[in-house]
């Protein structure tokens, strides 16, 4: 397994729509392992393939099994599609590994029904709520080139512009030094 480079806001790949996963097997399993390792190393709970520079509709999620547990329940979803969203919405703080050190309140459906394929290509469906539903919605947004800051009001986005510009400059400086 190896750590992958997480793309930071401003990287054009984060704004592109990912392509459907067509091949299942060892390559996808390796990608899943590397993405999970990268997500955990960076203290994330979700990671989409475009965030590591791969334009595939693939996400990994790692939720703690309990509040005081180091153990995570890992989910791998290829080609996820939200089939239904509850009318009930909830506003909670979100962050993103591609927009480090910035968190904002985002409104999302409390419950969703999602269809996806597992690592073998088998179709699955699940209904989920609360944190898992939120993370799935956040990560599917990445697959469509949408960042959580796009859900903010124009005023909030304007107020964050300076912080985001500094993140982009820091990333550019790090890339030049590498």
What is the predicted pLDDT for the residue at 68?
Answer: 73
pTM above 0.85, yes or no: yes
Cα separations in angstroms, 95 against 22, 101, 170: 30, 8, 18
Model confidence pLDDT, tens digit, residues 19-74: 999 999 999 999 999 999 999 999 999 999 999 999 999 999 999 887 777 789 99
What is the predicted pLDDT for the residue at 70?
Answer: 77
Residue 100 and residue 88 in contact, taking contact as beta carbons nearer than 8 Å: no
pLDDT of 178 above 70: no
> Three-state SS for 20?
coil
What is the predicted pLDDT for the residue at 58?
Answer: 98
Model confidence pLDDT, tens digit, residues 80-101: 999 999 999 999 999 999 999 8
90 classed as catalytic: no
What is the predicted pLDDT for the residue at 152?
Answer: 94
pLDDT of 112 above 70: yes
- Look at 159 and 106; give whichever has higher pLDDT: 106
What is the predicted pLDDT for the residue at 30?
Answer: 97
Query: In the chain, what are the domain boundaries?
Result: 12-177
- Report the Cα–Cα distance between both ends of the chain, in Å, rounded: 22
Q: What topology does CATH give the domain 12-177? A: Peptide Deformylase (3.90.45)
b/e code 81-110 from CB counts within 10 Å (16+ = b): eeeebeeeebeeebbbbbbeeeebebebbe
Residues 6-27, mean pLDDT to the nearest whole number: 96
pLDDT of 106 above 70: yes
What is the predicted pLDDT for the residue at 116?
Answer: 98
Of 23, 93, 139, 177, which residue is the catalytic one?
139
Model confidence pLDDT, tens digit, residues 132-168: 999 999 999 999 999 999 999 999 988 888 888 888 8
What is the predicted pLDDT for the residue at 20?
Answer: 98
């Amino acid at each position: 397994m190896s750590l992958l480079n997480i793309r930071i806001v401003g990287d054009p790949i984060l704004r592109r729509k990912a392509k459907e996963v067509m091949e299942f097997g060892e390559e996808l399993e390796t990608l899943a392992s590397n993405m999970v390792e990268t997500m955990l190393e960076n203290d994330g709970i979700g990671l989409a393939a475009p965030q590591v520079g791969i334009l595939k509709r693939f996400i990994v999620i790692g939720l703690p099994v309990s509040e005081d547990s180091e153990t995570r329940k890992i989910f791998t979803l290829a080609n996820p599609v939200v089939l239904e969203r509850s009318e009930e919405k909830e506003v909670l703080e979100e962050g993103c590994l591609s927009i480090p050190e910035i968190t904002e309140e985002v409104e999302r459906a409390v419950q969703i029904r999602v269809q996806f394929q597992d690592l073998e290509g088998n179709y699955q469906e699940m209904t989920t709520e609360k944190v898992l539903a939120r993370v799935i919605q956040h990560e599917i947004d990445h697959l469509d080139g949408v960042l959580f800051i796009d859900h903010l009001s124009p005023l909030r986005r304007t107020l964050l512009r300076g912080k985001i510009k500094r993140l982009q400059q820091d990333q550019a400086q790090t890339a030049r030094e590498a």
